[in-house]
Amino acid sequence: MKYILGIDGGGSKTTAILADETGKILGKGRGGASNYQTIGLENAGQAIKFAAAAAVEQAAENLSVSWADLEGSVAVVAGLAGADRPQDRERLRAALLAQMPVNPIGLRVEHDALVALAAATGNKPGIILIAGTGSIAFGIDRNGRQVRAGGWGPILGDEGSGYFIGRAALTAVLWEYDGRGKPTSLTKRITSYLQVTQPDEIVPLVYQGPLQRPEIARLAEIVLEEAAGGDEVSCRIIADAADHLVKLISAVLSRLDWCEPGIPAAGTGGLLQPENMLWTNIAKALAGTHPQVVFAPPMLPPELGAVLLGREMLDTAVGQEEFIANLRWSIEETSQS
């Protein structure tokens, strides 16, 4: 039997999944952040190793598959945030090879958006739009050409992301307070959520206190709720975020060599849930301006993209469709257990 170790590493957590060559999931593990651009190569390697060890441990407990069984028979695929440039991937590859307790059949390092795209489309060409704490769109056309837009981080980009929406909410509250903005129900919701009595008390929370980027991104949930409740300012923030996310897809589309209809585009990330207001705004805009795009939820969760790419590295008799079906079935089973 051959095996696949799929790793999905991001700015806040790392997921590892151990599957066999049929797509059956044997173990799952989690570790801390593994974006080496922000935490360094050594910490990233440690987080990945920790997540991988947890996945193998779970497999050993339940199914008697251990590190020894993986020697010379496991393909490793890692989709890592911050692995944008070839030289980044080469450095990460070397670091992971040095840390891996077994010799893998192969080790492929990709950036996280490519792995999320494979998960979303079932390893077919198309576009992925990710809107979580950050934002990025990434596409691959039928010639294999890869194109990205966005993903430039909280200072230079992340337009339409959770951080973007959360920060816009804080700004809207301060704009109402200092006379620049319209009244908004966000003021009551956010001051109450942050337990402050006046809007200007938000300022030290952001610059000195506990309101860091992930906490600001989490405020996006409140904006979605207030927008659903009809608050005009919240609706404008969500509409603005949707515009930015559509622009990311447009930019990728315009650079891909793909004219005919039926381009699969998947939306994913903590913020982009089917049928919330952000989703419906994007779907409506795309239907109007890019009718050739089919906007839908991803086929598989992003962490299974790495496992799916791992199948290509094995000489397995199990075809891609069957492999995906097995992944879907066994991810549901392991989620329930």
Residues within the interface to a copy of itself (CB under 8 A): 37-38, 84-85, 147-150, 152-153, 155-157, 167, 170-171, 174, 178-180, 200, 202-204, 206-208, 247-248, 250-252, 254-255
> What's the rounded Cα separation, in Å, for the pair 129 and 69?
37
Cβ distance to a copy of itself smaller for residue 167 or 311:
167
Task: Give the pairing of strands 126-131 and 135-140.
Answer: antiparallel
Shorter beta-carbon distance to a copy of itself: residue 1 or 259: 259
- Residue closer to a copy of itself (CB basis): 252 or 324: 252
Tell me what percent of the chain is helix, strand and coil, each rounded to the nearest 5.
50, 20, 30
Is 251 or 318 the residue whose CB approaches a copy of itself more closely?
Answer: 251
CB of 178 to a copy of itself, least distance (A): 4
Report, in Å, the least distance between residue 198 CB and a copy of itself: 10
Amino acid at position 205, single letter: L
Query: Residue 139 carries which side chain, given as an amino acid letter?
Result: G
3-state secondary structure of 300: coil
**Contact between residue 324 and residue 310 where contact means Cβ atoms under 8 Å apart:** no
Nearer to a copy of itself, 106 or 204 (CB): 204
Kindly provide the residue ranges of all beta strands, DSSP E only, lying in 36-88, ordered along the sequence.
Answer: 74-80
Q: In whole angstroms, what is the distance from residue 73 CA to residue 123 CA?
A: 22
Q: Which residues pair with 296 in a beta bridge?
A: 266
Q: How far is the CB of 281 from a copy of itself (least distance, A)?
A: 18
DSSP 182: -
Tokens of 46: 């440690």
Task: Indicate the residue among 145 and 180 with the shorter CB distance to a copy of itself.
Answer: 180
Which residues are CB-neighbours of 59 under 8 A, at least 6 positions away? 18, 26, 27, 65, 66
Residue 183 CB, nearest distance to a copy of itself (Å)? 14
Q: Measured from the CB of residue 191, what is the shortest distance to a copy of itself in angstroms?
A: 14
Closest CB 156 distance from a copy of itself, rounded Å: 6
Token readout for 229 is 């409740």
Q: How far is the CB of 297 from a copy of itself (least distance, A)?
A: 24
Looking at beta carbons only, is 207 or 230 nearer to a copy of itself? 207
Euclidean distance between CA atoms 88 and 98, whole angstroms: 16
Within the chain, what is the greatest distance between any pair of CA atoms? 67
